[in-house]
Structure 1
Amino acid sequence: MSGYTAQNIEVLEGLEPVRKRPAMYIGGVDSRGLHHLLWEIVDNAVDEYLNGHADTLTVTLHKDGRSVSIGDNGRGIPIDKHPKFKKSALELILTTLHAGGKFSDANYTHSGGLHGVGASVVNALSKEMVATVKRGGREYRQEFRRGIPVNGMTKGGAVRGTGTTIFFRPDEKIFPRTQFVAETIKLHLEDISFIHGGLKITFVDETKGERHTLSNPGGIVDYVTKLVGEGNKKPLADVVIHAIRSEGERIEAAFQWTESTEESIRSYVNGIRTASGGTHESGMRSAVVKAVRGYLETHKVPLKGVSITPDDIREGVVGVLSVFVREPQFQGQTKERLNNPELNANVDGVVRPALEDWLNNNPSLADRIIGRIIMAARARQASRDAAKEVKRKGHGTRRVNLPGKLADCTSSTKPEESELFIVEGDSAGGSAKQGRSARFQAVLPLRGKILNSEGVTHARALKHAELADIVQALGTGIGDNFNISTLRYGKIILLMDADYDGHHISTLLLTFFFRHMPELIRQRRLFIAKPPLYKIKVGKDQTHWAHDDVHREEILASLPKNARPEITRFKGLGEMPARTLSETTLKPETRTLLEVKIDSEVEADATFVTLLGKDPSLRYGFIMDHSGLADELDI
């Protein structure tokens, strides 16, 4: 304690905090964080469109697949010297946190960039960045390396027009993999084209020699139609319900009831996707419920003894909500959730009367929707009755009605500090039981590949012994009877072999959790462990662990040329010594866990339907469309 003095206090300056703690700014250094860099620059270009200064956006994925350029025909980043900091505004914006022109409404009425950190964060996490600005009839250029300017800004020749182009290459010292996914970029830009109907977007994919022009003047009404079609959902009625208010805060919503059992709403604020929702999305959900309840009461619709819940009303709804707010209050730099309290009532005030009018003016379609809601209520009641067979009575009976093969925690009684590893097979389960910390880690081994629960009712899923064991061990119930407060473990971790069979079993389990216990994913309780596939030993005291073939090659490439590595490939978790499994996969201090997240329930729903549904033609089409991405197929 006496050695802790002022000398131990570190102050991170400039962009150093970003490189030290990138997850604080982009959410992580995985593929999602990598692409978030691109979204930050794209959002800046869209802000120029939102404020009437641009109408075109071009995104180019270069041939190496590891670098991108984003260009717009907006005003161009200012290049004159800042009177206080004595450097160009271009350099200031790209090298200083919380520097920008969006802290007031003098230059931007609506904006997604509120914190003045997006572009500088991208610069900090890029091995190379080049900013090119056309302004005042001249072209200006400045280069950066890992956030540091290379020489000064240069002034080029005369040019026409105005605008900004940002080229950047993410830093492999920060990101384990720096390969962008063309399809992810294209889908994101296509989303933006629906939200901003007047913006012309061009995506140039040099890796495939393709050029895509994305323009959707039909806006979010066409967007809903697209989502319904891609999700393979059957519309209950062909009409997409549309609500819009343009004055003040622009609020626009479009939605459609389908025969799906899932509710899927995508929300946007100032053109930025709010994947975790927020007050605006809550307002839309409550508006739909209030409008339907009002219709039921006004028309005295007989419910025949069923009790209708908000989930019954919104079941099968596919919707898009877009709001434009002068002062949005986002939760964090990644802007995944909106916190403005007034947006709940504002959105409700637009959506509810519009839906009420539509229901009253379309009685035949309204009756079809009400009938579908009543059917959903009856199905939930049947699901509740079936789930009662396995519902636990609470935390106080930790060892009552638990699966016999579950090796439970020995002393920890607090769910938030307990972990359950769902393991593939008895052999792997034995290694996990020996290598775990029995105090707070439980192990549940499964026998072989489980039931494909895509399209299966809750009751049928519970008849499968392995799935019933999982539900019993978790203690939450299933379906409408699910209760997160009775969850016995803070983390549920899927631990499978690092091979094709292991990936298959993980996929089947993810299907089960997404379809039958999705709240575990929404509450960030579900994880996938990453056991090593290879052990790479160099000399007597240097050992590396590789998760897959690509990771193995990266490690080998980083070794000295005279190194003679000894490579061991694990056949499975059951072949791995308990001590090795503990050090690489079980111990919180040394393991790697992947958190399971749902970026889009619509896209996730479509993926599960395609890959695990009953229609084989969808899988065939997927394989043919994506075969070029695979080096080899294990068929």
Structure 2
Amino acid sequence: MPDRPSPEEHTQLTAATAEATADDQQGYSARHLSVLEGLEAVRKRPGMYIGSTDSRGLAHCLWEIVDNCVDEALAGFCTHIDVVLRADGSFEVGDNGRGIPVDVEPKTGLPGVELVMTRLHAGGKFGGVSYTASGGLHGVGASVVNALSARLDVEVDRDGHTHAISFRRGLPGEFADEGRPNARFKKKSGLRQVRKVAKKTTGTRVRFWPDMQIFLKGATVDTQLVLDRMRQTAFLIPGLTIDVRDERGEEVVAETFRFDGGISEFCSYLAKDQPIIDVLRLQGSGHFTETVPVLDDQGHLVPTDVERSLEVDVALRWGTGYDTITRSFVNVIATPKHGTHVRGFDRALLRVVNEQLRATKLLKNSDDDVIKDDVLEGLTAVVTVRLPEPQFEGQTKEILGTSAATRIVSQVVSRELKAVFDNPGRGMKQPLRTVLEKIAGAAKTRIAARTQRDTQRRKNALENSALPAKLVDCRTTDDRSELFIVEGDSALGTAKLARNSEFQALLPIRGKILNVQKASVADVLKNAECAAIIQVIGAGSGRSFELENARYGRAILMADADVDGSHIRTLLLTLFYRYMRPMLEAGRVYAAVPPLHRIELIKPKKGQDKYIYTYTDAELRQRLVELERKGQRWKEPIQRYKGLGEMDADQLAETTMDPRHRMLRRIRVEDGEAAAQVFSLLMGSDVGPRREFIIGGAAELDMNRIDT
């Protein structure tokens, strides 16, 4: 170990350190300050401009380039956009718009293309001259992408020529090799003409290679994300064609999007449930005055009042489901966290609906107003506004901050929606009434659920006389408790003897319950079997369903292993999917799997069970072949169970109810959704798809499988 310093040496070292520290403090002056010029700030703090340097930030770079093309489409100059994800990791975006200006900008002496690609806050989005409404607002999108790219190539078709320029990490120049970001690079300002084109041919193509010194390793742009974004953009701009091509995988993925119906088609596409009413389109505009700093002739910023116009376009429809889907956009830019425009939409929607509920006497004078959650139940809405220079919170543009949008959107939606209710078109009166009844029903369900939550928690049958009398409850209250929903009273009698009363409860249902896929909320609550199931589960229904209040750890559907049993299971799954979906999402819904056959062995071998149960015809044939091969005989005829009632208690317990021996099939959300779709197809109000299904499946039907 080194020797420790003497006291004298230690004193000298301490003094020297103090002196150096004092020099550092006194030496902190202007020469220590750093000034980041041009695009250096972007490379130093990329998160300020694109949010992050992971896959999300990389995708944001692609959106910035795409949004420039979309702005040309919004202005009416672009009808086609190409988006290509190259195999070498680069991205290429092209349009047939006017093309970025290639002439020299007088103040800087730079060509327009070079100016917008190398200078922050440079572009045609300011002042409302080139674009009355656009997604790019701050003039930093293209230059930010350029700063964060190892290589970026721009080609502009304009004035009879294709003009080209390349950049490396924001610096203009030329690469020695085409299509390689690491090729030898020479700094050089200005454009070069690469070929001639027709005089009327215009457009811009941008290809960039992300700089992996900036982005995290593994950052990538998901194909489905691009497809969803481009589909969304095509919905928002009717008549715009967008081609997407992904060359990165083993197989090329190519999609083309074009929708002439606009956000009405978008609303129908987003909705996953059956419609109660056709899509309503609410459109209008308003004006507001905004004070903004404007450069005068001397270059000074002067506060100036500017008259703005804001256009509102809303598509909405109510469906039979309970989920709410709201998409909002400003100049085609998605605002996932909404903002002032959605605030105005919600406010107007709530006010008009409450007025209509009281006008139609669905709400009495003594009743409280419905709340936003009641109105939004089953609603799918697309809210779009267009205005010049909107105020966003940050470059990522997730929240609209323009305060006047709340007032104007509220006025337009109130006026147009009230007109729809006051003067319904042909065939619209009854659907509008159904919508109001659904909202009123949602409010009543919410109030009832709140009352139930406040006045009682989980109780057993002895504590709660309100539970159905036919419920055979269990004693335990923990998560291992099970509710068997049993088909028929005959099976109930056997199940009573077969169950473990400690944790297994039984609820019989009579035959086939109501088809809730096309029934109203009121009809469902009136149906004794549906109401009993919802009441026994004890956690509410629809949007008010609270999973933690469920009275049982799992629900098990126990029906016969025949066609009717399958029908009943499908009906029950549809009920759970539409009214108690959290049970499915949590994996707490199961289907019992009772056996189809019982083989009784003659003189079974030592240690061998006397009875063998099989669950399918194919399994029965296989077991019989195995027994015959081993020389074992069985009693004829082999018993085939037509229903659960044919089993005695021991057989039912051993095969279907005893956790040590039974087989359960966990039902997933996808199973519930499939059940709902089957009922929509086979029992819905739309005849065409059902006819096609019957005609298409008739030739494939095996007559021997019909159980008659």
- TM-score of Structure 1 vs Structure 2, range by shorter chain: 0.5 to 0.7
What CA distance in whole angstroms lies between the structure 2 residues aligned with 1:325 and 1:88? 29
Q: What does residue 58 of structure 2 align with?
A: 34
Runs of 4 or more above 6 Å deviation:
453-457
- Partner Cα separation in structure 2 for residue 172 and residue 181 of structure 1: 17
Match of 2:160 in 1: 137
Q: Which residue of 1 aligns with 2:236?
A: 195
Query: Is 1:169–2:209 an aligned residue pair?
Result: yes
Deviations, residues 72-108 of structure 1 (Å, cap 9, x unaligned): 1111111222222222221111111111121112211
Distance 1:127 1:242, change over 3 A: same
In structure 1, what is the Cα distance between the partners aligned to 2:439 and 2:280? 17
* 2:59 counterpart SS class: helix
| Correspondent of 2:547 among 460, 463, 468 | 460
Partner residue in 2 for 1:245: 284
Secondary structure at the aligned position of 2:77 is classed as: coil
SS of residue matched to 1:127:
strand
In structure 2, distance between residues paired with 1:285 and 1:456 = 18
Which amino acid in 2 is paired with 1:106? V
Aligned match of 2:197 in 112, 135, 159? 159
Aligned length in residues: 418
User: Structure 1 counterpart of 2:66, which letter?
Assistant: V
Deviation digits for residues 595-615 of structure 1 (CA, Å, limit 9, x no counterpart): xxxxxxxxxxxxxxx984543
Aligned pair 1:615/2:676, yes or no? no
* 2:254 pairs with 1:211: yes
Distance between the aligned counterparts of 1:141 and 1:379, measured in 2?
64
Structure 1 residue 285: deviation in Å? 1.2
CA contact (8 A) 1:261 1:316 kept: yes
Matched, 1:341 2:379: no
- What secondary structure is seen at the aligned counterpart in 1 of 2:314? strand
Partner of 2:435: 369
* Alpha-carbon distance between aligned partners in 2 of 1:272 and 1:297, rounded to the nearest angstrom: 37
1:234 match: secondary structure = coil
- Matched residue type, 2:239: G
Distance 1:19 1:69, change over 3 A: same
1:104 matches 2:127:
yes
Inter-partner Cα distance in structure 1 for 2:82 and 2:343: 34
| Structure 2 CA distance for partners of 1:390 and 1:165, relative to 1, 3 Å | farther
TM-score, normalisation: structure 1: 0.61
Alignment correspondent of 2:377: 315
Distance 2:668 2:58 in 1: 26
In structure 2, the residue matched to 1:331 is 393
Q: Does structure 1 conserve the Cα–Cα contact (< 8 Å) formed by 2:354 and 2:370?
A: no
* Structure 2 residues not aligned, in runs of 5+: 1-24, 174-187, 287-308, 458-539, 554-581, 587-666, 677-708
Q: What CA distance in whole angstroms lies between the structure 2 residues aligned with 1:191 and 1:376?
A: 31
Cα offset for 1:42? 0.8
Counterpart of 2:32, as a letter, is: N
Q: Distance in 1 between matches of 2:380 and 2:323?
A: 8
SS at match of 1:235: coil
8 Å contact from structure 2 (residues 80, 95) kept in 1: yes
Q: Within 5 A, what are the aligned runs for 1:34-53?
A: 34-53=58-77
Deviations 1:153-197 (A, max 9, x none): 321121120111000121212221332211111110000111000
- Does the alignment pair 1:224 with 2:267? yes
Q: Distance in 1 between matches of 2:38 and 2:455?
A: 59
Q: Rate the CA distance shift 1:164–1:331 in 2: closer, same or farther, 3 A.
A: same
Q: In the alignment, what sits opposite 2:315?
A: 254
Distance (whole Å) between structure 2 residues aligned to residue 98 and residue 302 of structure 1 = 54
**What are the superposed Cα offsets for residues 228-249 of structure 1, whole Å, 9 maximum, x if unpaired?**
1xxx323233x11111237853
**Which one-letter code corresponds to 2:311 in the other structure?**
R
Structure 2: distance between partners of 1:277 and 1:460 = 28
What aligned pairs does 1:46-85 form with structure 2 within 5 A after superposition?
A: 46-64=70-88, 66-85=89-108
1:8 corresponds in structure 2 to 32
CA shift, 1:221, in A, is 0.5
Q: C-alpha separation between the residues in 2 aligned to 1:324 and 1:611? A: 42
Give the 5 Å matches for 1:523-602.
Answer: none
Matches of 1:611 and 1:53, distance apart in 2: 48
The answer for unaligned runs of 5 or more in structure 1 is: 392-452, 467-507, 513-609, 620-635
- Cα distance in 1, alignment partners of residues 103 and 235 from structure 2: 35
- Deviation at 1:199? 1.3
Q: Give 2:172's aligned residue.
A: 149
> 1:358-507 counterparts in 2 under 5 A?
358-360=420-422, 361=424, 362-385=428-451, 388=454, 458-463=545-550
Deviation, structure 1 residue 111 = 1.4
Q: Does the 8 A contact of 1:359 with 1:365 survive in 2? A: no
Cα deviations across residues 33-64 of structure 1 (Å, max 9, x unaligned)?
A: 21111111111111111112221111111124
**Equivalent pair of 2:283/2:312 in contact (CA under 8 Å):** yes
CA positional deviation for 1:301 = 2.7
**C-alpha displacement of 1:463:** 4.9
* 2:143 corresponding residue in structure 1: 120
Report the CA distance between 1:331 and its aligned residue: 1.4
Partner of 1:572: none
Letter of the aligned partner of 2:264 in structure 1?
V
1:424-477 CA distance string (max 9 Å, x none): xxxxxxxxxxxxxxxxxxxxxxxxxxxxx99896433245999xxxxxxxxxxx
> Could you tell me whether the CA contact under 8 Å between 1:41 and 1:70 is conserved in 2?
yes
TM-score by length of 2: 0.55
User: Aligned to 2:115, which of 92, 97, 102?
Assistant: 92
Distance change >3 Å, CA 87–CA 307, structure 1 → 2? closer
Structure 2: distance between partners of 1:343 and 1:47 = 21
Please list the CA deviations of residues 107-147 of structure 1 after superposition, one character each: whole Å capped at 9, or x if unmatched.
11221211110000111111211111111101111111121
Does structure 2 conserve the Cα–Cα contact (< 8 Å) formed by 1:386 and 1:459?
Answer: no
Structure 1 residues 458 and 2: CA distance shift in structure 2, 3 A: farther
Shift in CA distance, 212/454, structure 1 to aligned 2, threshold 3 Å:
farther
The amino acid across from 2:234 in the alignment is: S
> 1:466-511, CA deviations, whole angstroms, 9 ceiling, x for partnerless residues?
9xxxxxxxxxxxxxxxxxxxxxxxxxxxxxxxxxxxxxxxxx99x7
Q: What is the Cα deviation at residue 259 of structure 1? A: 3.0
Q: Deviations over 1:344-401 (max 9, x none)?
A: 121122222222222232331222112211221123224434555999xxxxxxxxxx
- Which residue, out of 274, 277, 287, partners 1:234? 274
Contact kept in structure 1, 2:151 and 2:209, CA below 8 Å:
yes
d(CA) in 1 for partners of 2:452 and 2:359? 34
Q: C-alpha deviations, 1:546-583, integer Å up to 9, x for none?
A: xxxxxxxxxxxxxxxxxxxxxxxxxxxxxxxxxxxxxx
Report the residue type matching 1:39 in the other structure: W
Give the direction of change, closer, same or farther, for the CA distance of 1:144–1:383 in structure 2 (3 Å limit).
farther
Mapped partners of 1:611, 1:19: distance in 2: 46
Residue of 21, 31, 38 corresponding to 2:45: 21
User: How many Å apart are 1:308 and its aligned residue?
Assistant: 1.8
CA distance 1:282–1:376, change in 2 (3 Å): same
Map Cα deviations across residues 306-337 of structure 1 (whole Å, 9 max, x no partner): 65212211222110011110231111111111
Aligned to 2:630: none
CA RMSD after TM alignment: 3.2
Q: Could you give the per-residue CA deviations for residues 578-635 of structure 1, whole angstroms, max 9, x where no partner exists?
A: xxxxxxxxxxxxxxxxxxxxxxxxxxxxxxxx9845437599xxxxxxxxxxxxxxxx
- 3-state secondary structure, aligned to 1:615: helix
The one-letter amino acid of 1:16's match is: E
Percent of counterpart pairs with the same letter? 37
Q: Aligned letter for 1:29? A: T
AA aligned to 1:335 is: K
CA contact (8 A) 2:245 2:255 kept: yes
C-alpha spacing 1:138/1:464, structure 2 compared with 1 (3 Å) = farther
Inter-partner Cα distance in structure 2 for 1:85 and 1:611: 63
